[in-house]
Structure 1
Amino acid sequence: MIRSSVTSSSPLKNVNMLALAAIGISFLAGCNVGPKYKRPASSAPPAFRGADEAPVTSDAKSSLGDEKWSAVYQEPELQELIRKALANNYDLRIAAQHILEQQAQVKITRSQELPTLSVGGTGIGATLPSSLGTQIGSPLVDGSFNLSAAWTPDFWGLYRKQTESARAQLLAQTWAQRAVQMTLVQQVATAYLQIRALDRQLEITRDTLKARQNSVDLTTTLESGGSVPLSDVRQAEQLLYAATSEIPQLEQQIQQQENAIAFLLGENPGPIAHKDPNALTPPPQNLPTGLPSELLERRPDIQQAEATLISANAQIGVARAQFFPSLSISASGGVGGDALNNIFDPAGKTIYGLGSLAQPLFEGGKLRGQLHLSQETEKEMVISYQKTIAGAFRDVSNALIALNKQRAYREQQEKLVAAAQDSTRLARMRYKGGATSYLEVLTTDTNLFTAQLNLVSAQQGEALTLVQLYSALGGGWQ
């Protein structure tokens, strides 16, 4: 008996004709109805806005974005944090899994281009009780062994376009992982600078607390001797409590920032090393920015957007290919018999073959709808690609403007702190000499404390401009 995986049969010579037809079709399988991808036109500015005022150079041969993060962030503590984050961060590990998943999807999609082959067999047996007095030479009553194959030639490039789309998605996932890595480096560096600024503000608050405690002691002594009114003591206490109330808030922010960094590192909440005294130093001068046109090749988010656009372009070919006929070829051959010794007898062989051709005629507008959808999706991806490029130029320009303006802001804050320090010193001298009330001391001391905290914020903002510029130029994923 012969068992086949198809429902119709034909003579052996018809199978040969089908084979010849398949060979002929394979030569024509190069047909591809999908559009070829062409990168959309995009205009790059001749220079980054803000580059003429910021302390940078537009050297065409080098760019800060080409540097490895370890060469840009040279603080040992920060380097160690970034290394841990790159090894253990959850988002980065998820992005890596997305790549592996898409690699598997490419294999699944590409398998449609290849023929399928399967093998099988059947067997029916029986054993009669000895009481019947009948002897059976073999327990096998019926058996067969068959081999079947099927193939749908990709005449119009349907499966090839699907594979092209899947591979473009794989490339997009790869660039997405690099974009996550770039963002992660930026996040760790930003969080580290923020926590160092909080540390500095806490130091200033504690130093201010000591000075204000001395003022309370002084005014209390003077009030006991009748030299100053009780109101001076209360005003001195106001300054003291204003400083003491700041300390728990800063400690809260520091510990919460430590937890935020630990999360980026893929660790449980806990303390983080942050004692480097040079963390808030100004960025170096003459940072190279490179040419604006090179940004398209350097930024991973732009590369990801283009890969997604390539995938959408391939989907148009998938939709168009479904308008054309689909040819399927299948064949099955096998042998069979009623005993073990004659199952593989060549005399018992049988071959089946089947070819089918289907042409869509009417599907209620489904095929045209799919084509229209794929075309409109590609237009959306073009806009997204152009938007990503425009956003990249904006990011670089904003970073350059901040690099210049934050430096100027920090310089003015330093002058303000110097003036406030001298004003406070003079007010205390006048108060001790009886030439002014304690209200002047209260006002000048409050202004000094505020100016010192603002100076730290200005130093943090200037240090962050290096992080922003490096990330905007596409650095951190190499």
Structure 2
Amino acid sequence: MKRIQRSAALLMPLLLIGCAVGPDFEKPRIASGAGYAQDALPLQTADAPGDAGGAQRFDIGGDIPGQWWALFQSTQLNELIDRAFKASPTIAAAQAALAVARENMLAQRGAFFPSIGVDAAASRNATPTASLAPVAANGQRIYSLFTGELTVGYSLDAFGLNRRLVESGSAQADGQRFELEAAYLALSSNVALAVVNIASLREQITLQQQTINTDAEVLGILQREYATGEAPVDDVLQQQAMLATARAALPPLQKQLALQRDALAALLGGFPNDKRIDDFDLASLHLPVQLPVSLPSRLIEQRPDVLAAEAALHAASAEVGVAIANRLPQISLTAALGTSPNAVADAFTPYNQFFNVVGKIAQPIFQGGALMHRQRAAQASLKQASAQYRSTVINAFQNVADVLHSIQADASTLQAAVAAEEAATRSLSLAKDRLRVGETPYLSVLTAQKTYEAAKMTTVQLRAARLADTVALFQAAGGGWWNRSDALAATLPSD
């Protein structure tokens, strides 16, 4: 046993002075001066009366709450997102992928420790005495042999092969962690957008049905006037075309509503034929007033897709070290201690015991260039991961910039649309007043009614767009996952 200890002591310095070959990963930095726009953001958006019309203020550098959807002040939306988190197979798959990556990383860490094994065997043997002398110590031709052996093996990580493998596995586990965060963010955003779309489509269908009723009423008036010779046939045909156009616009809206309901059912982990969820109204969703706009330097630390790309870059960097270490000597130490008596009672007799200690250095000499080309492939993969990381960062900045432009533009457009709706409302009211005193024909009232319904349709679409823009901003900025303390924390791998 002392010989084993002395042999191990001779090889321990190799472990202590060993280094990990290959590049050491450095966290990438974004270009100096990167931002979302050439001009500074305004303090707030335009405002308009009514639901989802108020001004929104940009909070530069503001933090995002972990449950950002609660800012819409909809209990129903909160319940749906909680339900989706618990039932979505996408989340379950991402959690399982994280568990796989984490366990693989922990399994690779096991190479830092000695491997210990025990073997035991028993045999009954007969010696051919005509050609061989008895081999048993007692001189018997037929004898039993019992063998027990304890083996210890250890691979010295002199050039950091295992350290780089663990580093790569840890980076892959980080990548899966951020993929899980991205799955949570995408799921919550998609549920919120589905709710907004369903509420908007329901109101649009109601308005389109009103337009159809108005067009049908106008057509009836024109047909009666045509019958009495007071209206030309051209007016009747034109109105028939308008009614047909209005009716043709209804089925696509109904189709979109059905598709959105199916999509929401899938997001909740259900099927299209499940019991329908109560419908939503735009009025039940409140537009958040404060809009946190993450600083550019914070964006790359918050977006799950950017962090996942960074983890992939880290893993690719470690794989270069793995490829280099595979071309260098591998040092291992194995030791065995055992006994092989012909009777179990003699197992600990000194003359039945044996041991061996083996130190091994293996150096690849020629493998047809395979190791060299694998190293070059790893280096090329590192360049690819670096380019993909930069592309992900650029897309993230573009995403935030696009959403900020949309928020400002849609707020200004809604302001103008509400003014148009108010003007159409006053025009319709005036036409009705004149109809009561006989100063205008009924056809003029119906025309004003159609103008009002068209303006109302536009405002409904724009109010929904402002809600959707806000959801998109929270998603583009990363979703505030770093401020959550719920079930996500339990799924993260330990250091």
TM-score range, shorter chain: 0.7 to 0.9
| 8 Å contact from structure 1 (residues 77, 274) kept in 2 | no
Other-structure match for 1:79: 78
Shift of 1:191: 1.4
* Map of 1:34 onto structure 2: 22
Aligned residue-pair number: 451
Report the counterpart of residue 90 of structure 1 in structure 2.
89
For normalisation by structure 1, the TM-score amounts to 0.83
3-state SS in 2 of match to 1:409: helix
What pairs up with 1:331-370 in 2 under 5 angstroms? 331-370=335-374
Separation in 2 of the partners of 1:298 and 1:392?
Answer: 11
Quick check: 1:276 aligned with 2:277? no
| Counterpart code for 1:349 | Q
SS of the counterpart of 2:332? strand
Contact 2:116 2:152 in 1 (8 A): yes
Cα drift, residue 112 of structure 1: 2.3
Following superposition, the deviation at residue 28 of structure 1 comes to 2.8
Matches within 5 A, 1:14-413: 15=4, 17-29=6-18, 31-43=19-31, 45=33, 48-49=36-37, 52-53=41-42, 55=45, 56-60=57-61, 62-63=62-63, 65-66=64-65, 68-125=67-124, 141-219=144-222, 228=231, 237-269=240-272, 270=274, 271-279=276-284, 283-413=287-417
Q: Secondary structure at the match of 2:340?
A: strand
| Residue 267 (structure 1) shift | 1.0
Equivalent residue runs for 1:450-469 within 5 Å = 450-469=454-473
* Alpha-carbon offset, residue 417 of structure 1: 3.9
Structure 1 residues 399 and 277, CA gap change in structure 2 (3 angstroms): closer
Cα distance between partner residues in 2 of 1:13 and 1:218? 112
Structure 2 residue identity aligned to 1:402: S
Task: Find the aligned partners of 2:467 and 2:210 in 1 and give their Cα distance.
Answer: 24
Rounded to whole Å, the distance in 2 between the matches of 1:442 and 1:435 is 11
Q: Could you list the per-position Cα deviations for residues 222-251 of structure 1 after superposition, in whole angstroms to 9, with x for gaps in the alignment?
A: 566665567666655555444444444333
Contact 2:195 2:280 in 1 (8 A): no
Instruction: Give the Cα separation in 2 of the matches to 1:473 and 1:409.
Output: 24
| 1:95 CA displacement | 0.8
Q: Given the superposition, is the C-alpha separation of residues 208 and 255 from structure 1 closer, same or farther in structure 2, using an over 3 Å criterion?
A: same
Equivalents in 2 of 1:309, 1:347: separation in Å? 58
SS of the residue 2:116 aligns to: strand
One-letter code aligned to 1:345: T
Query: Which digits, 9 at most, give the CA deviation of each residue in 1:386-416, with x for residues without a partner?
Result: 2222222211111111111111122222344
Measure, in 1, the Cα distance between the counterparts of 2:250 and 2:467.
24
Preserved CA contact (<8 Å) 1:236 1:442: no
Contact 2:347 2:353 in 1 (8 A): no
Deviates more, 1:14-23 or 1:392-401: 14-23
- Structure 1 CA distance for aligned equivalents of residues 439 and 240 of structure 2: 19
| Percent pairwise identity | 27
- Partner amino acid, structure 2, of 1:19: A
Deviations 1:240-263 (A, max 9, x none): 444444444333321221110010
Q: 1:145-185, CA deviations, whole angstroms, 9 ceiling, x for partnerless residues?
A: 11112211111111011001101111111111111111111
SS in 2 for 1:152: strand
Rounded to whole Å, the distance in 1 between the matches of 2:327 and 2:342 is: 48
Q: Which residue is equivalent to 2:492?
A: none
Deviation (angstroms), 1:51: 5.2
Deviations 1:438-472 (A, max 9, x none): 7x889776665544433322222222111111111
What amino acid is aligned across from residue 29 of structure 2 in structure 1? A
Counterpart of 1:328 in 2: which secondary structure? strand
Cα distance change of structure 1 residues 104 and 424 upon mapping to structure 2, 3 Å threshold: same
**Matched-pair contact (CA < 8 Å) for 1:123–1:140:** no
The runs of 5 or more residues in structure 1 that have no matched partner are 1-11, 128-136
3-state SS, counterpart of residue 287 of structure 1:
strand
SS, match of residue 327 in structure 1 = strand
Structure 2: 5+ residue runs without aligned partners?
46-56, 127-139, 485-495
> Could you tell me how far 1:422 is from its partner in structure 2?
6.3
